[in-house]
Amino acid sequence: MGPLSKRETPPALFAVDKNLRVEALNVGPWVERANTLGLDHGGADRLRGSLPELAALNPVPSDAVVWATLNLYHTGLQSDVLVSDSFIIALSPEYFDLDWHELPVLALAAIVRGWQVIEEVAFRRSEIPLLFGNAGSSLSGRSLSEPHAQAQLCVQQPALYRAYDENRTWFCEVLARKDLEIPTPENDHLALFAHPAPEFNYTMLVVARGSIERLADADPQEMAIMLNTALTRLVRHLGGRPAYNIIVRGLGAGHLHLEIIPRNTNTKGGAELAARSATIDVDPKSAKEALAGSI
């Protein structure tokens, strides 16, 4: 997939403006239209036929900060579940030369608002949303040169989401780990931690302090401020242009949380691949101290 054109605006399902209002929103009609076509759990092949028609319902408003369009390049499969639909959340051209850690809070909040809309689509269709962003170098898996977020809708609960859903007390245990909590600007609803059991060194975990299961129940501005703080600390500590992934798990995962995963801090070798395990050489407490000092 090539870069987004700076001269052409792709068709949008919805857009989010600077006040975090959703413009040209057709979530209800879109879901209803998809259901009448038998696309609610249809899979990629049947879905592709009418996606251009659905995407063309909404031209992008001129004041959009982000807009969402359907990604026709997805395979329709994750490793253990079928993906019924895939989205790209693109930013307006003024942000094309920035990476995620350079985006202003407004742009990050608009991305979060876009994810909330897609989560609502998943909720109405009884599906599970995978909400994520690939950033930094290509090692993160990014396929567009401009900053963007993505989402996929799974027709079944992925195994990892099910594990989190069935072990919600784990998040209470994380929230109690004051030795791993990274100081942030005062936030009553979210907390930032060095991940207690990471696959990659310096992975961070943002956890909702209350019993929040969905991203819809979070404040986009608060989430954006926390994300901005975490990404700034990570990039300042690692230096250069590190590869990293942003993953938000809400609906279907039991407890709202966000992971920020560096991808070039340690590489899995044969032993790790054979055992489906991870080897880290930076203790989470040391990672916390390093990230806390990267201001």
Question: Which of 247, 281, 277 is closest to 265 using CA atoms?
Answer: 281
165 and 30 in a single domain? The answer is: no
- Would 241 be classed as within a structural domain? yes
Q: Which pLDDT value is given to residue 116?
A: 94
| pLDDT computed for residue 121 by the predictor | 86
Same domain, 232 and 271: yes
Do 27 and 67 lie in a common domain?
yes
17/228 Cα distance (integer angstroms) = 19
Split into its structural domains, the chain has a count of: 2
Query: How much is the pLDDT for 219?
Result: 96
- Give the pLDDT confidence of 271-292 residue by residue, as tens digits: 777 777 778 889 999 999 999 9
* pLDDT value of position 56: 46
Q: Is residue 285 part of a domain?
A: yes
Q: pLDDT digit string (tens) for 253-276? A: 999 999 999 998 877 778 777 777
Which parts of the chain register pLDDT below 70? 1-12, 24-60, 72-79, 295
Last residue of a domain, one of 127, 158, 189: 158
Q: Using an 8 Å Cβ cutoff, are 12 and 69 in contact?
A: yes
Question: Do residues 51 and 84 both lie within one domain?
Answer: yes
Structure tokens at 232: 């700034």
CATH code, 85: 3.30.428
Domain boundary (158, 179, 197) is at: 158
What pLDDT, on the 0 to 100 scale, is given for residue 209? 95
Contact predicate 47/39, CB 8 Å:
yes
Report how far residue 108's alpha carbon sits from residue 118's, in angstroms, rounded to the nearest whole number.
Answer: 16
SS3 of the chain: the string is: CCCCCCCCCCCECEEEECCCCEECCCHHHHHHHHHHCCCCCCCHHHHHCCHHHHHCCECCCCCEEEEEEECCCCCCECCCCEEEEEEEEEECHHHCCCCHHHCCHHHHHHHHHHHHHHHHHHHHCCCEEEEEEEECCHHHCCCCCCCEEEEEEECCCCHHHHHHHHCCHHHHHHHCCCCCECCCCCCCCEEEEECCCCCCCCCEEEEECCCCCCHHHCCHHHHHHHHHHHHHHHHHHHCCCCCEEEEEECCCCCCCEEEEEECCCCCCCHHHHHHCCCCCCCCHHHHHHHHHCCC
In this structure, is residue 242 part of a structural domain? yes
Per-residue confidence (pLDDT) for residue 42, from 0 to 100: 37
Whether residues 94 and 205 share a domain: the answer is no
Tell whether 44 and 143 lie within a shared domain: yes
The verdict on 270 and 242 lying in the same domain is yes
**Rounded Cα distance, 207 and 218, in Å:** 11
CATH number for position 237 = 3.30.428.10
Same domain, 154 and 196: no
The answer to whether 234 and 272 are in contact (CB under 8 A) is no
Q: Is 181 within the bounds of a domain?
A: yes
Torsion angles phi and psi, residue 77, rounded to 5: -135, 135
Residue 170 forms part of a structural domain? yes
1 within some domain: no
Please check whether residues 113 and 191 belong to one and the same domain: no
pLDDT of residue 167: 95
Task: Please say whether the beta carbons of 260 and 195 come within 8 A.
Answer: no
Amino acid at 120: E
Q: Do residues 150 and 180 share a domain?
A: no
Q: For residue 78, which of 130, 41, 150, 1 has the smallest C-alpha distance?
A: 130
177: its two tokens: 């780990």
Distance CA 176, CA 196 (A): 11
- State the residue range of the domain holding 24: 14-158
Does any domain span residue 2? no
**Does residue 286 form part of some domain?**
yes
196/117 same-domain check: no
Determine the pLDDT at residue 150: 94
Euclidean distance between CA atoms 98 and 68, whole angstroms: 18
* Residue that terminates a domain, selected from 97, 130, 158: 158
Residues 18 and 147 in one domain: yes
